Amino acid sequence: MNTQPVEIKILDRLVRVNCPPGQEQALKDAASEFDQRLHRLAERTKVTNTEQLIAIAALNVCHELNDAKEALEAVENQVEQRSTLMMSQLDNAIAVQSAQK
């Protein structure tokens, strides 16, 4: 797959990252959000070590991702249970309808 370099700014440093065509804006948006998170985290924690700050931010993002995955799994399970219930009720309704004919 072809990629092209895109410059993003993280903690006031320009970083060049290869990006698939058509994904440049998504990369820039993600970089901007990550940069904002880093700045807020630095203000809140008073951590000045860049590597430590990035590690903490990455752990926070991973934690949020895991929470989102768990929430999605819960919703998927609810949808599956409701679909199963609806299919059962539909089967029962069809059986009753067929018996009345």
pLDDT digits (tens, 9 = 90+) for 67-88: 999 999 999 999 999 999 999 9
Q: Which pair of structure tokens corresponds to residue 35?
A: 């940069």
Q: Tell me the pTM.
A: 0.74
| Domain CATH code at residue 17 | 3.30.160.880
What total number of domains does the chain contain?
1
Element (H, E) at 6: strand 4-10
Is the pLDDT at 101 greater than 90? The verdict is no
Q: Residue for token digits 């000045």?
A: 48
Cα–Cα nearest to 32, from 8, 66, 58: 8
Residue 19: helix, strand or coil by DSSP?
A: strand
How many other CB atoms sit within 10 Å of the CB of residue 57? 19
Q: What is the pLDDT of residue 1?
A: 65
**Which range marks the domain in which residue 75 is found?**
4-100
CA 5, CA 101: separation in Å to the nearest integer?
Answer: 69
Alpha helices in the chain (DSSP H): 24-45, 50-100
C-alpha separations of 59 from 18, 37, 38, 62 in Å = 23, 12, 12, 5
